[in-house]
Amino acid sequence: MQPVTIALAKGRPAKQSIDLLEAAGIHFEGFHEKTRKLVFFNKDKTLRLIFLKGMDVPIYVEKGAADIGIVGRDNIIETEADVYEILDLGIGKCKFSVAGKKGVSLPDNQSLTIGTKYPNIAKKFFDKRNQTIETVHLNGSVELAPLIGLADYIVDIVETGNTLHENGLEVLADIETISTKFIVNKASFVTRSKEIQDVLKKLEQVVSEKNANSPL
Amino acid sequence: MRNKQLLHTMFYPKQFSKKRHVIHTLTGRFSKFGYQQVETPVFENYDLYNDVQGTVNTADMLKLIDPSGKVLVLRPDATIPIARHYTNLQEEVATGRLSYVLDIFRSTTEERSRTQAGVELFGERTPEADAELIALAVTSLKELEIPSFKIEIGHAAFYKELLREADLDAMQQKELDQYIQSKNISEIVPFLKDLGLEAALIEKLRKIPMLYGDASFVIDEAENIISSDKMREELDYVSRVYQLLQDYQVDSYISINLGLINHMNYYSGIIFQGFAEGLGQPIMMGGRYDYLTRSFHQETPAIGFAFEVDLLVDLLPGIFTEAEIIQLRYEASERQHAFQLAELFREANQTVIVKAFDKKENRSDSPEILVKSEEIVYSKQKEAAVFKTNQELLDWYFRKDVK
């Protein structure tokens, strides 16, 4: 039997996800924070953990290269992946916001240029406002775009707002809140139902205990 | 995000032999269940699809304009044209059972065209008819030896009935469909609360995505959210279809999913889709559409499904072993004799390529037959044999095959 493959977004959010898996009693052999390995197995080799770039996780899961994904909802919305978004893990909470230079307001009666890593999300938000935008698809240092004059505003993930503040920007409008999700390939959910339900139940347990301990 | 290619995937010979095998197996299965194959036109009137509401999104169709200025579309669906013609076909097809293998064109898929093989059953509105189709789908996938697959069965009206109490507008309903389809439970509740629905109804709606899995479990759970006689009827219907599938002995391939939604909203009863391990898209979709024919004069109950042939081709295990090809060579004087011999092999279903003998030619791994004036020499790698007559060679060759 092939192991069930769990795809995890590598980098900063990985730590919290791993902690959650550990709390659920799911351990991966030889994993430690500084490791550069990308593939791990649990003891009886029924689970395989792979590390991917966040934006690739929903794609791997949609195409069936991974059965399960643990990834920020930002990446799921942006890739428009066709997957089951079964469980909100309650970690990695942040929001999508529109930001611009301090003191500038967000006009609603003119076409705007938006710098962003998430053109689909930006477009959907402004579509709802019946506003046409031109997006500039960036891959990092998005905060720079309004300062240099590449774009009027940016659409990006905001956690604390510190990065914005340090670069002389501020949030002008919130789009939506996001957090880390447990996603499943639609075929795996039926064909490997038992194994997946097993992981899901364990995580559900941990998440609900956590929520009970820290009411929002 | 997704790049659309302009062309249909090119099938190279090895791949195509798989596709041929898939189509051959499926059409064979369909015909053994009494389904007769039809073909619908490639070009159809745009108006046909524009008039039948709630079927194919007009923006997804590939359109062209004929010299007189009339707008045509490339066949965007198989069920609609077959349903339309069924009123005329009725006399010829008394059993109501039709099948097809057709290319479907939509601008939404990456390739813009894909091959579907499916069946439609007209004139019966019974759990027996529904189970027959699902059993046909399961046995087809088994015959194709698709490694691991499941069919999910739902009911198009069950969740819609519950929605009727909510009174949502089209946009809100679309958003809710999206949450239910992706089993996005964590966002359903806040979304419904924002709409100001009653707590009891929210509680029922949020359960829909989890009405999923083994029939006995789902049907028990679903009892709890039933709020009308209509919903009870629908649930009973699903359960009767499932009992029939137990007698077909295919129930191990079945999951019930009452959160299943098909975006083609002509479906009115049982809906189902098939999934194979390792593939996120359904390999098969279908359902009951009792009212679609109403758009074409006479209302006839109907149910159908379609396999995605190109996906099945990708799922077929391993490489296909091609039939052996005999290289038949002849000396100049024996040309007529060689042609005759080649034809005898072909009549016996053997593939033969004939060429004049050339000394410089490289030897290959495939069997070779050299027709000389006094004898016929067979050779394959180290194996060799000499024959006097055609018949001697043929007898030997086909006996060898049996061994």
How many domains does chain B fold into? 1
- A191 and B275 within 8 Å at the Cβ level: the answer is yes
- The answer on pLDDT for A213 being more than 80 is no
What tokens were used for B80? 């609609």
- The answer on pLDDT for A187 being more than 60 is yes
- The answer on pLDDT for A100 being more than 80 is yes
Domains A4-92+179-213 and A94-177 share a fold: yes
Mean pLDDT within B77-103: 88
pLDDT in tens, B297-324: 788 899 999 999 999 998 887 666 667 8
Q: Is A129 exposed, middle or buried (0-12, 13-18, 19+ CB in 10 A)?
A: exposed
B114 is in an annotated binding site: no
- A86 and B183 within 8 Å at the Cβ level: the answer is yes
| Alpha carbon of A187: minimum distance to chain B alpha carbons (Å) | 5
B36 is in an annotated binding site: no
CA distances, B181 to each of A8, A42, A103, B177, B257 (Å)? 23, 31, 42, 6, 10
Strands B149-155 and A94-101: unpaired
Q: Does B385 reside within a domain?
A: yes
What tokens were used for B131? 């189970």
CA distances, B242 to each of A12, B289, B307 (Å)? 47, 19, 21
Instruction: Kindly state whether A188 is in contact with chain B, defined as any CB-CB distance less than 8 angstroms.
Output: yes
Check: CB of residue A4 under 8 Å from CB of residue A68: yes
pLDDT in tens, B313-356: 988 876 666 678 899 999 999 999 999 999 999 999 899 999 98
The predicted model scores a pTM of: 0.82
Instruction: Kindly state whether A200 is in contact with chain B, defined as any CB-CB distance less than 8 angstroms.
Output: no
Q: Which domain holds residue B384?
A: 325-402
B75 is in an annotated binding site: no
Strands B302-308 and B325-330: unpaired
Backbone angles phi, psi at B38, to 5 degrees: -130, 165
Residue B349 maps to which CATH number? Answer: 3.40.50.800
- The answer on pLDDT for A215 being more than 60 is no
| Alpha carbon of A4: minimum distance to chain B alpha carbons (Å) | 11
Check: CB of residue B264 under 8 Å from CB of residue B55: yes
**Residue B131, amino acid:** A
Q: Is B68 left (phi over 0), alpha (psi -120 to 50) or beta?
A: alpha
The structural domains of chain A, with segments of one domain joined by +, span: 4-92+179-213, 94-177
CATH H-level superfamily of A94-177? Periplasmic binding protein-like II (3.40.190.10)
Taking each continuous run of H as one helix and of E as one strand, the counts in chain A are 8, 11
Q: Does B102 reside within a domain?
A: no
Check: CB of residue A61 under 8 Å from CB of residue A126: no
| Alpha carbon of B140: minimum distance to chain A alpha carbons (Å) | 18
- Non-local CB neighbours of B216 within 8 Å, separated by 6+ positions: none
Alpha carbons B359 and B361: distance in angstroms, whole number: 6
Confidence band, pLDDT 50/70/90 cuts, at residue B401: low
What tokens were used for A206? 């941990």
pLDDT in tens, A118-154: 999 999 899 888 889 999 999 888 999 998 889 999 9
Q: Does B305 reside within a domain?
A: no
| Angle between helix B156-164 and B170-181 (nearest 10) | 130
User: Scanning every residue of chain B, which has its alpha carbon at the shortest distance from the alpha carbon of A61?
Assistant: B280
Alpha carbons B239 and B218: distance in angstroms, whole number: 10
Q: Does B391 reside within a domain?
A: yes
CA distances, B68 to each of B64, B71, B149, B241 (Å)? 11, 9, 48, 50
Check: CB of residue A169 under 8 Å from CB of residue A145: no
- The answer on pLDDT for B7 being more than 80 is no
**ipTM (interface predicted TM):** 0.74
- A61 and B183 within 8 Å at the Cβ level: the answer is no
- B277 and A192 within 8 Å at the Cβ level: the answer is yes
What tokens were used for B61? 């169709």
Write out residues 48-87 of A within 8 Å (CB-CB) of B: 61-64, 78-80, 82-87
Helix H, strand E, coil C: the string for chain B is CCCCCCCCCCCCHHHHHHHHHHHHHHHHHHHHCCCEECCCCCEEEHHHHHHCCCCCCHHHCCEEECCCCCEEEECCCCHHHHHHHHHHHCCCCCCCEEEEEEEEECCCCCCCEEEEEEEEEECCCCHHHHHHHHHHHHHHHHHCCCCCEEEEEEEHHHHHHHHHCCCCCHHHHHHHHHHHHCCCHHHHHHHHHHCCCCHHHHHHHHHHHHCEECHHHHHHHHHCCCCCHHHHHHHHHHHHHHHHHHHCCCHHHEEEECCCCCCCCCCCCEEEEEEECCCCCCCEEEEECCCHHHHCCCCCCEEEEEEEHHHHHHHCCCCCCCCCEEEEEECHHHHHHHHHHHHHHHHCCCEEEEEECCCCCCCCCCCEEEECCCCEEEEECCEEEEECCHHHHHHHHHHHHHC
| Alpha carbon of A120: minimum distance to chain B alpha carbons (Å) | 8
Alpha carbons B242 and B263: distance in angstroms, whole number: 24
| Residue among B149, B152, B277 whose CB faces A188 most closely | B277
Alpha carbons B178 and B172: distance in angstroms, whole number: 10
- B150 and A191 within 8 Å at the Cβ level: the answer is yes
Instruction: Kindly state whether A17 is in contact with chain B, defined as any CB-CB distance less than 8 angstroms.
Output: no
Mean pLDDT within B184-213: 87
Can you give the length of chain A in residues? 216
Which of B218-227, B233-242, B339-348 is least confident? Answer: B218-227
Which of A106-110, A181-185, B45-49, B316-320 is least confident? Answer: B316-320
| Alpha carbon of B209: minimum distance to chain A alpha carbons (Å) | 9
Check: CB of residue B18 under 8 Å from CB of residue B315: no
Longest dimension (CA), chain B: 95
Taking Cα atoms as reference points, which of A91, A163, A2, A171 lies closest to residue B147?
A2
Check: CB of residue B120 under 8 Å from CB of residue B98: yes
- B182 and A64 within 8 Å at the Cβ level: the answer is no
Q: Does B378 reside within a domain?
A: yes
Q: Does B397 reside within a domain?
A: yes
Q: Which CATH entry fits the domain spanning A4-92+179-213: 3.30.420.40, 3.40.190.10, 3.30.70.60, 1.10.10.10?
A: 3.40.190.10
- A191 and B1 within 8 Å at the Cβ level: the answer is no
Alpha carbons B28 and B38: distance in angstroms, whole number: 14
